[in-house]
Amino acid sequence: MQNVTLVGIDLGKHSFHLHGQDRHGKAVFRKKVSRKQLVEFFATFHACTLVMEACAGAHHMARQLAGFGHQVKLISPQFVRPFVKSNKNDFVDAEAICEAASRPSMRFVTPKTESQQTLSALHRVRESLVRDRTKTINQIHGFLLEFGISLPVGNAVITRLPAVLAEHRLPPRLIAILERLHAHFKYLSEQIGEIDKEMARQLADDELGCRLLSIPGVGPITASVLASEMGDGQQYGSSRDFAASIGLVPRQYSTGGRANLLGISKRGDKNLRRLLVQCARSYMQRLDRHSGRLADWVRAMLRRRHSNVVACALANKLARTAWALATRRTTFDAGASAMPA
pLDDT digits (tens, 9 = 90+) for 127-143: 999 999 999 999 999 99
pTM of the entire structure?
0.79
Rounded to the nearest 5 degrees, what angle is found at the Cα of 58, between the Cα atoms of 52 and 59? 120
Return the pLDDT at 340.
45
What is the pLDDT confidence band of residue 200, given thresholds at 50, 70 and 90? confident
Q: How far apart are CA 165 and CA 168, in angstroms?
A: 6
Average pLDDT over residues 302-306: 92
Q: How far apart are CA 234 and CA 257, in angstroms?
A: 32
Query: Based on the number of CB atoms within 10 Å of its own CB, is 201 exposed (0-12), middle (13-18) or buried (19 or more)?
Result: exposed
Q: How far apart are CA 196 and CA 78, in angstroms?
A: 34
Q: Are 334 and 294 in contact (CB under 8 A)?
A: yes
82 alpha carbon, distance to own chain's centre: 24
DSSP type of residue 287: G
What is the pLDDT confidence band of residue 319, given thresholds at 50, 70 and 90? very high
pLDDT tens-digit series, residues 6-26: 999 999 899 999 999 988 888
Q: How far apart are CA 100 and CA 82, in angstroms?
A: 9
Statement: residue 338 has pLDDT above 50: no
Residues in the chain: 341
Statement: residue 75 has pLDDT above 90: yes
Average pLDDT over residues 61-90: 90
Lowest mean pLDDT among 93-107, 153-167, 324-338: 324-338
Return the pLDDT at 341.
39
Q: How far apart are CA 324 and CA 341, in angstroms?
A: 9
Q: What is the percent of the chain with per-residue pLDDT over 70, rounded to a whole number?
A: 98
Q: How far apart are CA 195 and CA 122, in angstroms?
A: 7
Q: What are the angstrom distances between the C-alpha of 162 and each of 117, 144, 168, 183?
A: 40, 13, 10, 11
Return the pLDDT at 118.
86
List helix spans (H) across 167-306. Answer: 172-204, 207-212, 220-230, 239-245, 270-285, 293-302
Return the pLDDT at 119.
85
Mean pLDDT of the chain: 88
Average pLDDT over residues 180-208: 90
Type of residue numbered 303: R
Q: What are the angstrom distances between the C-alpha of 24 and each of 4, 20, 73, 103, 177?
A: 10, 11, 19, 13, 68
What is the pLDDT confidence band of residue 335, given thresholds at 50, 70 and 90? low
Residue with the bigger pLDDT between 255 and 91: it is 91
- Single out the residue of 246, 301, 239, 293 nearest to residue 268, CA to CA: 246
Return the pLDDT at 148.
87
Q: How far apart are CA 285 and CA 21, in angstroms?
A: 57
Return the pLDDT at 259.
81
Q: How far apart are CA 302 and CA 320, in angstroms?
A: 20
Own/partner long-range contacts of 268-274 (Cβ < 8 Å, ≥24 apart): 268/244, 269/229, 269/245, 271/123, 271/127, 271/225, 272/222, 272/225, 272/226, 272/229, 272/246, 273/246, 273/247, 273/248, 273/315
What Rg, from alpha-carbon coordinates, does the chain have? 25
- Single out the residue of 23, 29, 55 nearest to residue 41, CA to CA: 29
Q: What are the angstrom distances between the C-alpha of 160 and each of 49, 139, 170, 177, 245?
A: 60, 16, 16, 16, 44
